[in-house]
Structure formats: structure tokens, C-alpha cells
Structure 1
Amino acid sequence: MPRVAFTTLGCKVNQFETEVMEGLFKQRGYEILPFDQVADVYVINTCSVTHLGEKKSRQIIRRAIRLNDKAVVAVAGCYAQVSPEEIEAIEGVKVIVGTQDRHRIVDLVEKAASSISPVNVVKNIMNAEHFEDIPLFDTPGRTRAFLKIQEGCTNFCTYCIIPYARGPLRSRPLESIITESEKLIGAGFKEIVLTGIHLGAYGRGMEGNITLVDAVKAVLSRDGLTRLRLGSLESIEISDELITIMQQDDRLCDHLHLPLQAGDDTILKAMNRHYTLAEYRQLINNIKMSIPSIGISTDIIVGFPGETREMFENALQFVEKMNFSRMHIFPYSRRSGTPAAEFSEQISEDEKKYRVNKMQELADRKAVEFQEQFLNKQLDVLFEIENQKDSAIIDGLTGNYIRVYVNGNKNMQGKIYKVLLLKTYQDGLWGEIVQ
């Protein structure tokens, strides 16, 4: 039996796409191995969001070649899409496939095994017209399943390479979403997470004025679904109808990830973000009035070109008032091929490090403040991870994305229990099962 090993860099969408490719190999009789073992094929699903992501991708490619220099090393994903010539120059790479044609990955690998030169099928992603609808042939044993329903982005934020790596907007047909969700529910998954590169744009260009709300309703209509969660969304794409569904159906998790990216209107405009701080604040306030328990997480980039210390201090004040449940803080990464890379007033690395630390301190404090609102209350928790250091502890997530730890065992994995939340603990709360 031929052996294949996978590794994934980057986002949840990449993780889903790796699982799809794993299923394709299993269908053809391949054994899946951990990436650090000697395999006949290595598939590296790469990231290109930052130069660091590309550097890590190259390092992992070379690690695979060292593990077995006779193996077929296949490189897929965003880095392969935007810089195929760089990857082809790495001696030992046999297959280069970007963010299209992954349904052909097994055929390409088997073709490359008998080919002298690398098999490079990367083509212009801007010409892509259809969602690459690959069935999920395998359902890895976890409690949460990611379901990709949308591809591509046309926002062209000035710091971001993703539109050039993923191409125009394409959406998965509703019939396919229903089929895949039924398969995941049948496999025992308790939570489905809808993901996409620009998830809020789901349905654009499809007949019938279809939107993300239609996709949400389609999955919620399936028998046996316990939880549905949404991936990252642009704030301006949150509709009133979506919030109403969240109010009325407890299965749609009361958690939204709405990237802010900057806490200053001048910087938001320079980033080509399509909202103002006032608009963002009003939206969040309205959502919280409708759903007081909701967790709203966000992404923030600090040190964007032209962001003065005063602008940064203003951003700290804005974030302080927003009371996010969780914040992911990133220093601006100068990415060649994007407009912002050529902007003047680039911020020094030392200054960016200072700002990351300051914003992270605030993020940590606000996360604790959000979690402490729920002390001495009961919430449903989907348990998913047995603690590696102490097998008597298991943790999982509430609907509003608080990590909860309790005394338990692996038999609780994949099950939902009502938990009384007692105290802060590690990155979340400690609780006691009451049901």
C-alpha cells in the first residue's frame, strides 16, 4: 500500500482543503502517515499571507525531501499559486498545484512518479469561474467539522495577497452544501463550521439572489444537526436576518468573528477596508443588544504604514470600548505584490513589536473580562480535547466560543454537557458538569 503524508500551513480553509485531498488519496488506496515519517508521497498545503508563511513553507518542503529524497513531493495552496516558479526551483519538488485542480492531485502525483521534470499545473487564478466542488470522501475523527462553501475574494485590501492567490468569488451550490452537511452529521459530528475565503460574499453571482442566509438555513434544516458555527465574516455583510436566526435557533452559535484590522479611520481607508469606526461600532452595539451573550472576536493589524503612535493609542482606546471576546493581534507584514508594500512611512520592527505587546496585553485582559461575565452561570459545552498533560481533564467550547475545562475523560469527547462555570483557568474557564 503506497503511503502519503500531509502538512498544512495557514487558515481553516487550508485545513479543510487538506482533509479533502486526504480523502482523495484514501479513495485510491493510500495509507495516511504522520508527516515526520518516511512516506512515498508528501503533500504540503502552503500559505502565502506573509513572508514568514512562505519561509515556513519552503522549510517544510525541504524537510520532506530530506525525509525521503525518492518521494514525490507535491506542493499546493496559496504560495504555490502566487510563486510557482520559486517552488519549481527547489530541487526535489515533483508536483506544483495551486488553489485549483486539487481534485486531480492523486493523478498528478502518480504522473510525476514516472516523470523526469516537475509537473506544474498552476494557471491564472483570475480566470477561475466555478467553485471546485470536491466531495469529502473521509471524515476525520473530530467533534467539529469544517465545511467550505465559498472561494475567492475581490476586496483587494492593500496589505493582502489572498485575492491574487484565490481569484474571483465562487460559491458552492446549495445542493452540494446539503449533501456534505448530511454526510458530516451522519459521521457523528456535533458541530459544523461554515468557512470560506470571503464567506459573507456567499451566493454572489449565483442565480436566485442566494446569500449566506440561504446556506445557513439549508444546513439548519438537516435532521440531527446539533450546532452550526460561522467562520470569519466582514462586518458590513452581517444581515439583520442572520442575527434573527441566531436569536431564534440555539443551534446557530452565538459567536461571530468580525475582523476590525485597524482602530483608526485613516488607516482603514489606506487598507481599503469598506467601513468606518463609527459604522463598525454601531453594528457591534446593535448585535450585542439583540444577543447579549454573543462572543465577538476580531483581528487587528498594528504597525501598518503611516500608523502614527497617536493613531495606535486611539486604536487602543477604541478596542477598550468594544469589549471583544477574543482578539488576534498581528504585526503588519510587508508582502511584496501588494500595494501597501510600496507605501512610504513603513514602521520599524521594534515599534511593531512594542505595539503588538501593548495590544496583546489589552486583548488578554478583555478576554478575561468577557469570560468572567459567565461565572456562576450554566452553559452548554461541546467537549473535544483530552488534556495531554492530565488525562483527567477535558476541554471544549461553549456556543459563544469560551474554552471550558472540567474533570472528565475521553469518553466525553464529541458530547455536549451543561456546565456550571466556576473560575478562570488557563485560556478560559474551569467548570463543573451539572448534566
Structure 2
Amino acid sequence: MNEQQRKEMSQIIQGDAADRKSGQDKPLKEKTSEDFAKYFETTYEPPNLNKARKRGRDEINVHYNFQIPEDIKNIGNGKKFLIRTYGCQMNEHDTEVMAGILTEMGYESTSDTKEADIILLNTCAIRENAENKVFGEIGHLKPLKLEKPDLILGVCGCMSQEESVVNRIMQKHQHVDLIFGTHNIHRLPQLIKESMFSKEANVVEVWSKEGDIIENLPKVRHGKIKAWVNIMYGCDKFCTYCIVPMTRGKERSRRPKDIIQEVRHLAAQGYKEITLLGQNVNAYGKDFGDITYGLGDLMNDIHKIDIPRVRFTTSHPRDFDDRLIEVLAQGGNLLDHIHLPVQSGSSEVLKRMNRKYTRESYLELVSKIRKAMPNATLTTDIIVGFPNETEEQFEETLSLVEEVGFESAYTFIYSPREGTPAARKKDDVPMEVKKQRLYRLNDLVNKQSAEAMKAYKDKVVKVLVEGESKNNPDVLAGYTERNKLVNFKGPKSSIGQIVDVKITEAKTWSLDGIMVENTVEVNHNG
């Protein structure tokens, strides 16, 4: 980034858009409250996968004027809501926003379906199993809906952006009152009002068009320890197996000043860790037109904020550039645990997946990361049984896992998603072969994880204490800087703090330890 570009970006961060010369060419425009209301009164159309694949770079609008209309601001007084979340961190973050909106409308949260006046299923479309779980839950909720006709049952999230899902719900699950997608969560108040008073059997509002960024949405976060911070939306990579570009839309980045303001606010509230979120997080800023400001630049600015830990997910190897590596190598609050999905170790399979990198270029990237951060922990995602994967191609994946030394991996048997190019491929790999390959892969990953854990024995590590262990309320649990789960005994007062723990036992996926006496909370320089 040259000096002029840095000056221009500094003006963005300070919010001085009026003085920014390049602003005329930048596809980001602020909208007034009047524009906001007018824009969202426009008509919508059902989800259309073909149109999604053909989309171009439309203008991106930024809205700062979210408001709940006065006539429905207290519509939830004395009522309760329940949101069930499926899928990724982005869905978790969307749930935080919906919970924030509902809370501002007067609703209270509940975990009991029988108490709820609104139940929302925030869905995931990434794998078939996720969809099956949701449809199973829709079926289980039907008797409750019949018992409580005024209950509003809604389906939202990524599944709602699929044509086939919307059609199936409307045809076979008429007890569902409300269907909305990922692009119009900010419309939840109006949709609830319409569902309450409409004579229609279903209220359906799913937008194929996307591209706008809605700031200042309320959120209800869980606890005051770790927080998700969304920095961009959508994905433009169109991997042949993935439905996300169709359900989440094109890549669009939040303004740096808005992200930095949110992180500063979280730091002031006492949060100890933030995770920067995006479907393809290291493509951040590529839609900023002529101004060069990417994830590396953003993390360099966040590096200066007094918050102990900063992570990011999920990365695409194609967009992991030298600037990001250079910034991460500074250390401090920028942690060197990097999740870097490879999906396959075969260049031929990667080509069929449309990943746009090869085995060799992935290993070259790993080498760069290792050189800059010798102690970096790498984890990954891997798909086995992609259509027509040969035994030799699978063994290339095994050898890559060994060569990189991944300490953990999310592994999956390929799941065809309707509307994706890979779903049209004829697959000659029997399911039994796929299951056996998954077993072999998991066996290798487990061995590597257990081996990596052994290195922590008798070491003192810094643990961000999140709460009681799920298995034993007398034991506390938290994570190291490299995202290793640690269980140890200590005072409840250490929850929410970063403490020193000496590791006494290393297991395959977790560590046991003893809290070091006289531990004091550490800052990001500690």
C-alpha cells in the first residue's frame, strides 16, 4: 500500500468519507433512514441458483439506520423466543443478531420449547445431514404448533435460500409460519408482525438479491469472554461442491472503521478474545475498488487494540497473501493458530473442486507460514470420496496430512448438494470405500493430534478460562493460544480470565493440568 492509499484508508477508518477523492469510484454508499425504509419496501423474488451463479459486481450499500418500527417495538412484551442454531460460526453470529432484535422487541429468551411464543430454526445447508436434522425438528414441532396455534414457527438461514427447501416446506410442512433467508435478517420485526396478523398460511420472504451491509444491528452475545466479529459476507469462489455462494451471496466487506469501532467496544467491555468471521475471511477488502486494504492491514490495525487474543476464520489458501503472513508474524495478540482448509491433497481433485490452487502451491504457502511463524499450529478441513476420487488420489491426501503435520482436522465424506456442479457428476466410488477412507484419514489425524499434545506435558500454558467442564462441574475448561482444550481445577473466580496452567496429562484431543499459584491475568504482551 503506497502513502496515498494509506492516507485514503486512514480517512475511511476515521469516517471521513466526504474528503476521500477515490470515494466516487468506490462501490460503497451510505444511506439515510429515508433511503433505508424505501429500499426495503421493494419487492423480492424467490431464491434462484442460476441467477446467483451469474451475478456480477453490483453496487454495495451500507446502512447505518436500523430501527425497529414504533408500532411493533414492544410487541414481544411478556413473550418468549427460542432459536435453534445449526452449522457454522456465521450462523451462530446471525443468531446473536436475531436474539438482539427480538430482545429489543420485548421478548425474553427461553430454552424450553413449551414456553416459547416464537421458535426459529437457523439452518445450515452445507451438508445433507444438516438438512435432515432440520426437517426432523420441523416434524417434531408439529404437535406443539397444533397445541399452540399462536406459536410462530420460523425457518431461516442458509437452507431458506434454496429453492427446493422453500418448496418442500410450503408443500409438506404448512405448520411453518415464517420463512426468511440470510440477506434479510434485519427485516425480522416486520416479518413477525406480518406473521401475527397476516391471513396467509405462510409468510415467505427470501431474497436472491444481496449486496447490502446493515450496520448497528443489536446483538445478544453469550457471556463476556469470546466474541464473533463479522468482517465480510458471502463468497465468490464457487467450489463445485459448495452451496454457500448461492445461499450467502457475493463477497462484500464491512468498512474498516465499523469493524475497528466494534472491536474497540468489545475490548472496553472486557472481552478477552475475538474471532474475525467471513465465509472466505482473507478475501476481505477485495471489493474496495481502487483502495488496497486487506485482511493483513485490518489485523495490523486491530493488533494495536488492547484485547488479548485475535483469531480469524475461515481462510481460503488462494487468498492467503504475504502481507497477512507478515502481520501475523508480529505475534502479540495475533495468534498463530491458523485454520487452512485444504480439502484434498490431490491436484487433480482440487481442480475438479475448482479450488484454484494445487498441492504444490498449498505446500509452498505452508512453507511460507512456517518460515515466518515456526511454532504455528495448522488445522484444516478435508473431504474424502469426492466424485471419482481414486485410491492414489486419496493417498496423496494422506501424504499431505503427514507432510504438513496438521494437529487437527474436520473430515467429511463428500455430500452432494442440489444445484452445485459436483452434484451432477457420476460417482463410481462405493460408500463402503468412502467410509474406509474416512476411517484411515481420521486414524492418521488422531495420531498426529496425540503426538502434538505430548509436547505440552509439564509445560505451562496460558488458558482463557471459559467455564465449567461439560463433564464435571468441579473442573474448569478453557483454551490455549493455539486452541488446545485444557481441563483443570481452579477457583470459579478465574472464569473469564487468562491463567497459567501446568499440563500434567496429554490426551488425543485435550490436556489436563493444574493451575499455577499466584497467576495474574495477562495482557496481549504477556
Q: In which range does the TM-score fall when normalised by the shorter chain?
A: over 0.9
Question: What SS does the aligned partner of 1:56 have?
Answer: helix
Question: What SS does the aligned partner of 2:213 have?
Answer: coil
CA contact (8 A) 1:262 1:315 kept: yes
Question: What SS does the aligned partner of 2:178 have?
Answer: strand
Displacement of 1:347:
2.1
1:410 aligns with 2:492: yes
CA contact (8 A) 1:97 1:120 kept: yes
Return the match for 2:155 from 75, 80, 85: 75
* The 10-residue stretch of structure 1 (345-354 or 269-278) with the greater mean CA deviation from structure 2: 345-354
Return the match for 2:419 from 329, 332, 337: 337
Displacement of 1:174:
1.4
For 2:104, the equivalent position in structure 1 comes to: 27
Where relative contact order (Cα < 8 A, 6+ residues apart) is larger, the structure is 2
CA contact (8 A) 1:375 1:422 kept: yes
1:101 aligns with 2:184: yes
Question: What SS does the aligned partner of 1:85 have?
Answer: helix
Displacement of 1:382:
0.6
1:120 aligns with 2:204: yes
**Counterpart-to-counterpart distance in 2, 1:19 and 1:48:** 19
Displacement of 1:426:
5.9
Counterparts in 2 of 1:237-276, with a 5 A limit?
Answer: 237-276=319-358
**Counterpart-to-counterpart distance in 2, 1:409 and 1:55:** 42
Return the match for 2:468 from 373, 381, 386: 386
Displacement of 1:30:
0.4
1:46 aligns with 2:123: yes
For 1:225, the equivalent position in structure 2 comes to: 307
Q: C-alpha deviations, 1:284-327, integer Å up to 9, x for none?
A: 12212221221110000000011112221222122112100111
- Structure 1, unmatched stretches of 5+, are none
For 1:285, the equivalent position in structure 2 comes to: 367
**Counterpart-to-counterpart distance in 1, 2:508 and 2:141:** 35
CA contact (8 A) 1:232 1:258 kept: yes
Residues 20 and 341 (structure 1), Cα distance of their counterparts in 2 relative to 1, 3 Å cut: same
For 2:514, the equivalent position in structure 1 comes to: 432
Displacement of 1:346:
3.7
Question: What SS does the aligned partner of 1:113 have?
Answer: helix
Aligned residue type for 1:367: S
CA contact (8 A) 1:229 1:252 kept: yes
Residues 421 and 244 (structure 1), Cα distance of their counterparts in 2 relative to 1, 3 Å cut: farther
CA contact (8 A) 1:174 1:218 kept: no
* The 10-residue stretch of structure 1 (94-103 or 311-320) with the greater mean CA deviation from structure 2: 311-320
Residues 38 and 198 (structure 1), Cα distance of their counterparts in 2 relative to 1, 3 Å cut: same
- Structure 2, unmatched stretches of 5+, are 1-77, 520-526
**Counterpart-to-counterpart distance in 2, 1:137 and 1:397:** 24
Residues 346 and 133 (structure 1), Cα distance of their counterparts in 2 relative to 1, 3 Å cut: farther
For 2:35, the equivalent position in structure 1 comes to: none
CA contact (8 A) 1:27 1:137 kept: no
For 2:8, the equivalent position in structure 1 comes to: none
Question: What SS does the aligned partner of 2:386 have?
Answer: coil
Displacement of 1:175:
2.0
CA contact (8 A) 2:303 2:332 kept: no
Question: What SS does the aligned partner of 1:36 have?
Answer: coil
For 2:282, the equivalent position in structure 1 comes to: 200
Return the match for 1:9 from 77, 81, 86: 86
Q: C-alpha deviations, 1:74-122, integer Å up to 9, x for none?
A: 2111100113222233111111111111011122112201112211111
Aligned residue type for 2:368: N
Question: What SS does the aligned partner of 1:248 have?
Answer: coil
* The 10-residue stretch of structure 1 (224-233 or 129-138) with the greater mean CA deviation from structure 2: 129-138
Question: What SS does the aligned partner of 1:15 have?
Answer: helix
Aligned residue type for 2:304: S
Q: C-alpha deviations, 1:363-419, integer Å up to 9, x for none?
A: 111111222223332221111131133222111111111111211243222110122
Question: What SS does the aligned partner of 2:217 have?
Answer: coil
**Counterpart-to-counterpart distance in 2, 1:42 and 1:409:** 37
Point out 4+ residue stretches in structure 1 off by more than 6 angstroms: none
Displacement of 1:237:
1.9
For 2:387, the equivalent position in structure 1 comes to: 305
CA RMSD of aligned residues (A): 1.7
**Counterpart-to-counterpart distance in 2, 1:115 and 1:347:** 50
CA contact (8 A) 1:392 1:409 kept: no
Residues 244 and 37 (structure 1), Cα distance of their counterparts in 2 relative to 1, 3 Å cut: farther
TM-score normalised over the length of structure 2: 0.79
CA contact (8 A) 1:262 1:301 kept: yes
Aligned residue type for 1:358: R
Return the match for 1:421 from 492, 503, 506: 503
Return the match for 1:18 from 77, 92, 95: 95
Aligned residue type for 1:241: R
Residues 108 and 47 (structure 1), Cα distance of their counterparts in 2 relative to 1, 3 Å cut: same
Aligned residue type for 1:120: V
Displacement of 1:142:
4.8
Displacement of 1:61:
2.5
**Counterpart-to-counterpart distance in 1, 2:321 and 2:420:** 30
Aligned residue type for 2:294: T
For 1:374, the equivalent position in structure 2 comes to: 456
- Higher alpha-carbon Rg: 2
**Counterpart-to-counterpart distance in 2, 1:111 and 1:245:** 48
Figure out how many residues of one structure are paired with residues of the other and give that number: 432
**Counterpart-to-counterpart distance in 1, 2:174 and 2:227:** 36
CA contact (8 A) 1:257 1:298 kept: yes
Residues 289 and 375 (structure 1), Cα distance of their counterparts in 2 relative to 1, 3 Å cut: farther
